[in-house]
Amino acid sequence: MAAKEAMSDWEEVTLDPAFTLRIPKGWEAERDEEEGISVGAEEGAGLLHLVSFPHAPGEQLDPAEELYAFLEEQEIQIEEDEVEDLDLANGAELSMCEYLAEEEEEEDGETTYWLVGVVTAPGTLVFFSYSCPAGEEEAERETVREILATMTLRERA
């Protein structure tokens, strides 16, 4: 399992000027058509997607407030104790939550597991989401959390 590998075996990803992160062997990262970065294991259960947004230089937004605003916009209700906060390198802050959602477009009413969150540092905000079919999240959940914990944000000029 990738989560058990030494972090020294992980590869640094620098595809976005706003942040770097590290991924384990067997995982790939690439730019996508939405100006973000897609990260996933070759035969993985799900996909991690990250998109950066600039904001006022020197200003650090509250990641939990930004996460709540996104969830409200998506009509997803969570309790305050369902949001996890982490401090990252270089003063960056991360807030994330997990939930299950039924996909309305799917005829069979498939349920999807979501891990979504926001990372902020002065001048930069990164939104991320990881999704996979419900019931398969344990295969990559810890590895995705470890990848997110390696993020380093850079302030934009």
- Residue 90: which residues within 8 A CB-CB, separation 6 or more? 121, 152, 153, 154
What is the residue range of 143's domain?
2-153
pLDDT at 6: 66
pLDDT at 155: 67
Taking each continuous run of H as one helix and of E as one strand, the counts in the chain are: 2, 10
pTM: 0.88
pLDDT at 1: 42
The C-alpha angle 1, 13, 94, rounded to 5 degrees, equals: 80
d(C-alpha 119, C-alpha 64), whole Å: 9
DSSP string, 125-138: EEEEEEEEETT-GG
CATH of the domain at 19: 3.40.1000.10
For 91, phi then psi, to 5°, come to 80, 10
Tell me 53's DSSP state. Answer: E
Spell out, as residue ranges, where the chain has pLDDT lower than 70.
1-6, 104-108, 155-157
pLDDT at 56: 80
Q: How many domains does the chain have?
A: 1
